Structure formats: structure tokens, C-alpha cells
Amino acid sequence: MKLSVPKEASEGERRVALVPEVAKKLVADGVDVVLEPGAGVSSHLPDALYEEAGASVSEGQGLSGDVVAKVAPPSPEEIGRMQQGTVLIGFLAPLTAPDTAKSLAEAGVTAFAMEAIPRISRAQSMDALSSQATVAGYRAGLIAAQELGRFFPMLTTAAGTIRPAKVLVLGAGVAGLQAIATSRRLGAVVSAFDVRSAVEEQIASLGAKFVKLDIGLEDAEDAGGYARQLTDDEQQRQREALADVIGGMDGVISTAAVPGRRAPLLIIEDAVRQMKPGSVIVDLAAETGGNCELTEAGQTVVRHDVKIVGPTNLASSMPDHASQLYAKNVQALLALMVDEEGALKLDFDDDVIAGACITHDGLIVHLGARKAAGLQDKEA
């Protein structure tokens, strides 16, 4: 089997789908690995390291493999260069980018979306959403500390004692928990809120305080472990209660998201208005509409003397380790696709293979992707 890795073409994307360490293991397992020249340069991985690992580097071969491994969704031009029957692995945004799924189906590409991998125990090593959220949560804590015009930790000096900053993290998924841990390491007093009561113990284990809102909402966790979509009434009560909490914070890091939908609005303008001048909000949900109604994706703005940071593709800002983690996820998924002799073998009876597949045999086969594309059950 031939595995190829192109140089990412999306603007601002610095990650690469394969690192030399993983390439070496795949070559040892009988996989022919080829990369486009410069594929790993933005992750500080020169071509020579891949060649030392046993991979080949060749111009125009990044999309030529039986399997193509990418990070960002492919462009129409990239899809046009793939052969019918090619297997594609990458982030494909199946619930929000229906045109990509349609184009992949029309091209006869069998596509597997890393974000569609089922949330089951045996698939944890393939969970790229979690690995990249770890990077984003860490960076969010650093951004909050950097942008806040105050110390995070308590300092006792000859000039007096500085009280520690108060930081609130909204959402306690992987990114939120990492933001909590990072903010705590930097010395802040951290509180966290999540609509899922089950995460209270995880928040406490990191030394943060779980914020309980008296809004009559027991729990809001769906069967997949994500936060469910709240009703309009629940959302309004939640926003009003959070505004009072947010007003007493120096920094807020928001990470709340619902897969395939606009990010829930948690921070209303009145909450921002209540914060002390010079406070900061880091909104990790900026790409999907933002948790703060004043967030502007990809921008840092100041509203009511509060700095609001709306980073996009934050994992790409740490390409070295983000690529390392992502490549391990890809390697784990490939282990289900390649037999002992290094040949490609797709077993659609496998829950992971079936669950992550978006297009196959000219059809969009993923239920969520079909719905996003406006297709009925029997439509192609």
C-alpha cells in the first residue's frame, strides 16, 4: 500500500499529517510512504528527516497514494487530483461542509473524517479532536495570561502583595480541562462551568472550583458524552446567571461547542460590560460563531474596556506537537485499515471504520453528512 502526504494548502495551516517517527514505523510495517517536498517544513520537519525514516519525498506525489493523509479539508483542486478509489483521511467537517462531501463522493474517493471517529474506548488513540483540543486549551491559557495586564499568580514583594487573577473556564471538555490545568499552573484562581454535572469531579481534580448555577438545569449531556443543545429558555437563564459570575473575573476562557451546530452563546454583552476594565476573554469557539456575542473570528477586539480574543485554528499555532499528536491518531486509524503484509483492507463491519466513513462508492454514507447535504435516505 502506498500512503502519500501532501503539503497543506489551507491558509495558516502549519501542521502535517505524518511525522518521521510515525513514518518510520509505517515503513517497517510494509507501507510505502511518500511525501510532497516541504510537507513538514512548517512543523520544523525537513525532508531529510523523512528520508532518514525510510519515506520518499517526490514532487507532485502528495495526493497519489492509495491512502492520502491530510490535516485540513481538501480544496476542490486537491480533490480533482485524487484518483477514483483513493482513501482519504483527514479533518473533513462533514456536518458543516456539505460541498466537500459531495465533491469527494463525485470523485469516487472513500473519505474518513477524523472528527467522525466514534467516541468509544477502543478508538481513544484515534481521537484527533481530543488531541488537537489539548493543544488549543493549553494555548488558550497562555493567551489569556499574555493578554491580561495583570499577573496570574499571587506575588509577595517588597512593594506589597499582588492577589492572583481570577479565571473562569466555560466548558470542561478536553480543551477546557487543559485550559484549567494551564491557568492553574500559571497561578490563577480558576473556576469552571459546564452544563454536564458529570465533569464536576474532573474540574475539582485540577484544583478548580465547579460553578453551579441555580437555573433548574440538572444535566445536559447527550449519549455521546457531549453537551446537548439547550432549549431557548434554558439558554437564556444560563446566560443571565453566568453574567453575574463573569463580572467578577479577570479572565474568561470559553470552549463550549456542540458538534455540527453554531457554538452556544454564553457571554452576553451585559456580562462583558460588568467585567473590570483590562479584563480578557479568549473565545475558542470563535470559528463556529463564538461563545461571546462580541467575538470576531480571527480578531482581537476591545469592547467595554475588555479585550476579546477570537483565535482560529489554534492547534496550528503549535505545529510541532500538534502534528506529532495528530500523526499518532492517523497511525492508530491506519492500523485498522492495513493488514499484516501492509496491504489496504477496509472492514466496514468495524464500528470505527463504518462510523468515520463519510463517502464510499460514489455515495455520501455518513448519516450526519447526508443530512447536512440535504439528502434523503435513498439519494446518492
- Name the residue with higher pLDDT: 167 or 258: 167
Tell me what pLDDT residue 237 has. Answer: 87
Calpha distance 95→88 (Å, rounded): 17
Q: What are phi and psi of 176, to 5 degrees?
A: -65, -45
Calpha distance 103→101 (Å, rounded): 5
Q: 451585559: which residue's cell? A: 270
Per residue in 56-84, is it b (16+ CB within 10 Å) or e — as a string? ebeeebbbbbbbbbbbbbbeeebbebbee
Q: Would you place residue 233 in the very low, low, confident or very high pLDDT band (cuts 50, 70, 90)?
A: confident
| Cell numbers given for 60 | 507532485
Yes or no: say if 264 and 240 are a contact pair by the CB < 8 Å rule: no
The residue annotated as part of the active site, out of 47, 127, 194, 250, is 127
Domain spans of the chain?
A: 2-116+336-366, 136-316
The residue annotated as part of the active site, out of 61, 64, 130, 236, is 130
Q: Kindly report which listed range (47-61, 199-213, 224-238, 250-264) carries the lowest average pLDDT score.
A: 224-238
The residue annotated as part of the active site, out of 81, 119, 237, 273, is 119
Tell me what pLDDT residue 222 has. Answer: 53
Q: Would you place residue 380 in the very low, low, confident or very high pLDDT band (cuts 50, 70, 90)?
A: very low
The residue annotated as part of the active site, out of 58, 75, 83, 124, is 124
- Name the residue with higher pLDDT: 379 or 351: 351
Yes or no: say if 338 and 344 are a contact pair by the CB < 8 Å rule: yes
**223 pLDDT more than 60:** no
Mean per-residue pLDDT of the chain: 94
124 is catalytic: yes
Calpha distance 105→103 (Å, rounded): 5
CA 6 to chain centre: 20
Per CATH, 2-116+336-366 and 136-316 having the same topology is answered: yes
Mean pLDDT in residue range 367-372: 95
Per residue in 327-348, is it b (16+ CB within 10 Å) or e — as a string? bbbbbbbbebbbeeebebebee
Alpha helical stretches, state H, 206-357? 232-246, 269-274, 319-334, 351-356
Length of the chain: 380
Tell me what pLDDT residue 60 has. Answer: 94
Q: Would you place residue 195 in the very low, low, confident or very high pLDDT band (cuts 50, 70, 90)?
A: confident
The residues, ordered by sequence, that sit 6+ positions from 338 with a Cβ below 8 Å of its Cβ are 1, 29, 30, 31, 344, 345
Yes or no: say if 152 and 188 are a contact pair by the CB < 8 Å rule: yes
Yes or no: say if 346 and 139 are a contact pair by the CB < 8 Å rule: no
CA 69 to chain centre: 17
CATH number of 136-316: 3.40.50.720
Mean pLDDT in residue range 105-127: 96
Instruction: Give the pTM.
Output: 0.92
Angle among Cα 298, 303, 308 to the nearest 5 degrees reads 35
Q: Would you place residue 214 in the very low, low, confident or very high pLDDT band (cuts 50, 70, 90)?
A: confident
- Name the residue with higher pLDDT: 223 or 190: 190
pLDDT tens string 58-102: 999 999 999 999 999 999 999 999 999 999 999 999 999 999 999
Q: Kindly report which listed range (216-230, 282-296, 347-361) carries the lowest average pLDDT score.
A: 216-230
**254 pLDDT more than 80:** yes
Tell me what pLDDT residue 56 has. Answer: 98
CATH 1.10.645.10 fits 2-116+336-366, yes or no: no
127 is catalytic: yes
Tell me what pLDDT residue 154 has. Answer: 94
Tell me what pLDDT residue 235 has. Answer: 83
How do 189-193 and 280-283 pair as beta strands?
unpaired
Calpha distance 127→214 (Å, rounded): 34
pLDDT tens string 147-187: 999 999 999 999 999 999 999 999 999 999 999 999 999 99
Tell me what pLDDT residue 25 has. Answer: 96
Torsion of CA 283, 247, 177, 233, to 10 degrees: -80
81 is catalytic: no
Question: Phi/psi class of residue 279: alpha, beta or left (left: φ > 0; alpha: ψ in -120 to 50)?
Answer: beta
Calpha distance 244→313 (Å, rounded): 30
The Cβ-side half-sphere exposure at 365, using a 13 Å CA radius, reads 18
Tell me what pLDDT residue 215 has. Answer: 72
The residues, ordered by sequence, that sit 6+ positions from 304 with a Cβ below 8 Å of its Cβ are 269, 272, 273, 275
119 is catalytic: yes
The Cβ-side half-sphere exposure at 69, using a 13 Å CA radius, reads 31
